Structure 1
Amino acid sequence: MAFAAGRFYCVLLSLLAGLASGLEITSTGPTSIEKASGQSVKLDCQFSLATEDSGPLDIEWSLLSSDNQKEDKVVILYSGDRAYEDYYDPMKGRVHFNSADPKNGDASINVTGLKASDSGTYQCKVKKAPGIRSRKMLLIVMVKPSRPQCYAEGSTQEGKDIVLKCSSKEGTSPLVYSWDKTSDSKILPASAVSDPVTGNINIRNASASASGTYRCTASNRVGTEQCIMNLNVTPPPNVAGTIAGVIIAILLFLLIIAIILFCYCRARRRKKYEKEICNEIREDVPPPKSRVSTARSFTVGSQRSSLGSMSPSNLHEYALKPQYDKIPSTEEYERPPSHAPLPPPTVPKMGGPNLSRMGGIPVMIPAQNKDGSIV
């Protein structure tokens, strides 16, 4: 019984001695690394071999899947004394072994041009029969904050609450924002309240002293970016003057419209009146009687010339002669036939003494025959 126990202890010690002298991973660096996108990183994996590790050397780096249902992705491989560096297409040309001959005990790799998609857990597995060892490392690729945008939201008048905003479109969380004033006293207003998470700063009841140059800094664990803006706090506008100007402008506008309408109505009324005058037919105006007037004027003129050539002694005979050549007047022409024409007035015969008594001047008129010729 004692012999059997001693033999068991000897076998156990030999196994422990074999394990202690076999393949080992000797790297002692951090197992979690944070890097910014675009940078390079070295994933360390140093190992040592024992004399009993006589099999072929195989080194495999793989990106472990976060989902147990998915397969791990082999990134780079060393097998049969040959390196297979372009094994994983997303990292093709960006991942290489750190040593030209990994058999010397250096299975570390270098990854250049890091991307956010490179983040994950990487496993280094070294196999040399009968020994197998592995080491896991967490790589976090963080995106540096992009240049933030600074601007003022809302009104920037005195007495108002002014909100200054700052935000980066890119960057790995958590992002932290901070504000400071770079002009004048370089001290933020006493009423300013900033939020480092949202990047907003609220200046309550802003005064003219809040005007100046402000700087916002966005940062995370891998980098920082800044933006600068100028804030100009303006005095409140003259509301009464603005209202008066608006009212005056409205009145002028209405006056112009009224003048245009008045001119339009007047022109339209005049055009309508001229059109009615042109189309009106007047029935109360009799047609002109040019022939009667001409004949009447001729007869009257002839009578006057005859009377002027007669003597007073012949006036009575002329008055008694029937006036056959007399053209009836308008009244006689238009008089109904029931009315008989009145006899012509008689002219009394006056002698020379009577004419002298009445102030007339006797004129010697040569004697005429019946035909009116001078004798």
Structure 2
Amino acid sequence: MASPVRWILWTLLVCFAALQNAALRVTMRESSLEAVRGDSVLLPCSFFTSSDFSRLNVIWTLAPSSSPGSPVQVIVYDHGQVIKNPSLIGRVDFTGLPFSADIMLNETRVSDGGIYRCMVNNPPDTADPGVGELLVSVLEPPSLPVCEWDGASDVGGSVRLSCSVEEGVPTPEIRWEKVNPEEISLPINMEGELSGSVQIVNVSSQTSGLYRCSATNVLGTENCYINLAIYNSEGPFHHRHASLGLLEPFLIGAVLCTAAAPGGPPGVLPGVLLTLVMALVLLALLAIILWLHRTGQDGRSRRRRRDRKAEEEECYNEIRYTPSLMKRSFV
């Protein structure tokens, strides 16, 4: 009977000694988390210690994805006091102290992404501070892309379509396609993380149409468009003015089409020249009519002035040779 009792006592003594010298253990319930920009996320950190919490010390740090070699302090709990990074005040706080080191991160931003480390120390535990790591990714939908074009819009030329976005995590996939009048997928020449372009060579009237750039990631898709018009004397991208017959520039979307290229079908150039001559003749006739009208008004004005002067001279002569006046002059 004594042997079993001694065995139980010995076991309890060993367990008590082990607890007294047990290392502080930290457990991260998750190895990685994803959050959408603007949402709140709970960063879990559990720990086990054999001592009371009077000297508990908890430190959270972040190695940002943009600069993993420069970790920053997020929040600290030390002897009952909480100290927060000034840039995170109002967005981060402990949720379960002293029984857990969980923190809540609110209004997440893309800059919050990176590797978080939870370090717990609780003297008189003799072991080194326990450390746990957690990878946090903050996702962001694509921003509205910007579509641009560059090159020659005449037949046989080359046009480059480019598309870029400023924001998006993970990096958006950028794709060009022609959607009108027929839908055609185009090859993509990626230039950078947030941009893509496609080169269209030897353009023709069939190249004209509506093109769409799509920026897509797991959170959604944003689009921008370019309405491309390639000028051709035979195509629908030139029109004649109803009164003067002059070829006018035609602007569609971001593409400017100028006058028809040489070498068009027979009869186009003579027709244009004839229309120009007729317009010049009409302008000349209008100028002559205006000149004749003004000349007639000037002639009538001169005749009125001559008539008025003649009347004044006649009245003067009548007064000068009146007999009654001559008689009175000799009295």
Scaled by the length of structure 1, the TM-score of the pair is 0.50
Equivalent residue, structure 2, for 1:38: 38
Matched, 1:178 2:175: yes
CA pair 151-253 structure 1, distance change in 2 beyond 3 A: farther
- Runs (5+) with no aligned partner, structure 2: 1-17, 233-237, 239-246, 248-259, 261-268, 319-331
Q: Which residue in 1 is equivalent to 2:92?
A: 95
Q: Deviations over 1:255-300 (max 9, x none)?
A: 42343233213322331243234325889xx99xxxxxxxxxxxxx
Aligned with 1:61: secondary structure? Answer: strand
Secondary structure, aligned partner of 1:279: helix
Contact preservation (8 Å) 1:193, 1:203: no
Task: Please point out which of 161, 164, 167 is paired with 1:167.
Answer: 164
2:294 equivalent to 1:264: yes
Q: CA deviation at 1:129?
A: 0.4
Gaps of 5+ in 1: 1-16, 288-375
Match of 2:103 in 1: 109
Which residue of structure 2 lines up, in the alignment, with residue 25 of structure 1? 26
SS of 1:200's equivalent in the other structure is strand
Q: Check the 8 A contact 1:34/1:139 in 2, yes or no.
A: yes
Which residue type is aligned with residue 145 of structure 1? Answer: P
> Equivalent residues in 2 for 1:288-303 (5 A)?
none
Structure 2 residue aligned with 1:226: 222
Equivalent pair of 2:175/2:188 in contact (CA under 8 Å): no
Identify which of structures 1 and 2 has the higher relative contact order when contacts are C-alpha pairs closer than 8 Å and 6+ apart: 2
Q: How does 1:98-137 map to 2 (within 5 A)?
A: 100=96, 102-103=98-99, 106-119=100-113, 122-131=116-125, 132-135=129-132
Question: Matches of residues 298-309 of structure 1 in structure 2 within 5 Å?
Answer: none
**Contact 1:45 1:124 (C-alpha < 8 Å) held by counterparts:** yes
Tell me the percent identity.
Answer: 26
Q: Distance in 2 between matches of 1:43 and 1:101?
A: 13
Amino acid in the other structure paired with 2:207: A
CA spacing shift, 1:250–1:127, aligned 2, 3 Å:
farther
TM-score, with structure 2 as normaliser: 0.55
Structure 2 CA distance for partners of 1:133 and 1:186, relative to 1, 3 Å: same
Runs of 4+ aligned residues of structure 1 deviating over 6 Å after TM superposition are 17-20, 64-67
Cα distance in 1 for residues equivalent to 2:205 and 2:123: 79
Q: How many residue pairs get matched? A: 256
> CA separation of 1:203/1:71 partners in 2, compared to 1, >3 Å: closer, same or farther?
closer
2:36, 2:51 → 1: CA distance? 42
Residue matched to 2:58: 59
**CA distances 1:10-50 after superposition (whole Å, capped 9, x unpaired):** xxxxxxx99983213343865x766542244443433332x
Do the aligned partners of residues 115 and 235 (structure 1) sit closer, same or farther apart at CA in structure 2, a change above 3 Å counting? Answer: same
Q: Is the Cα–Cα contact under 8 Å of residues 45 and 107 in structure 1 kept in the other structure?
A: yes
Q: Distance in 2 between matches of 1:209 and 1:156?
A: 12
Q: Which residue of 2 aligns with 1:320?
A: none
- Residues 69-127 of structure 1 deviation map (CA, whole Å, 9 limit, x = unaligned): x99555364754x9x5x9556545543546x4552xx4232323311343466442312
AA aligned opposite 2:214: T
Whether the 8 Å contact between 2:211 and 2:228 is mirrored in structure 1 is no
CA RMSD for the aligned pairs? Answer: 4.8
Counterpart Cα distance in 1 of 2:294 and 2:197: 60
Please state which structure has a larger fraction of its residues in strand.
Answer: 2
Deviation at 1:128, TM superposition (A): 0.6
Do 2:36 and 2:139's aligned partners in 1 also have CA atoms closer than 8 Å?
A: yes
1:205 and 1:52 map into 2 onto residues whose CA distance is 79
Partner of 1:339: none
2:199 aligned with 1:199: no
Q: Aligned equivalents of 1:200 and 1:245: distance in 2?
A: 44
1:216 aligns with 213
Q: Which amino acid aligns with 2:119?
A: K
Q: Is the 8 A contact 1:155 1:162 kept in 2?
A: yes
CA contact (8 A) 1:122 1:138 kept: yes
1:276 aligned to 2:306? yes
